[in-house]
Amino acid sequence: MTVKFTKDHEYIRVEGSVGVVGITPYAQEQLGDIVFVELPSVGKQLKRGDEAAVVESVKAASEIYAPVSGKVAEVNAALSGEPGLINTSPDGEGWIYKLEIADPAELDDLMDADAYARHTS
């Protein structure tokens, strides 16, 4: 299993041809208590860098961008009733959406865990 990171603090956990996308523990810490998540619609085509979702916290609203191009395969419906899952488990139960990856080569442009750790330190 490969996990890659964007400069905007999204992660994508690659599971075969699907990527599980969410925000990093660092990002949720910066946002504070998350109160609302606007999920993308299943089937939506996204290009790398497109706005895919919006996460609202008590501090601010933050756009979530597509780390790679692809089609939204699934959304985390649990977030509609319990957006705080992103705070308690950002890289687990708090994932935001799953993406059918269109071009796996785009993953090469993202950071690995070590590079992301340097980016946030």
pLDDT tens figures, 26-47? 999 999 999 999 999 999 999 9
pLDDT exceeds cutoff 90 at 1:
no
pTM of the model: 0.96
Average pLDDT in the 57-84 region?
A: 96
| Domain CATH number, residue 25 | 2.40.50.100
Q: What is the number of domains present in the chain? A: 1
Coil, strand, or helix at residue 49? coil
Q: What is the pLDDT of residue 10?
A: 97
Structural domain boundaries enclosing 53: 2-120
| Residues 6+ away with beta carbon under 8 Å from 19 | 12, 13, 67, 68, 70, 98, 99, 101
Average pLDDT of every residue of the chain: 97
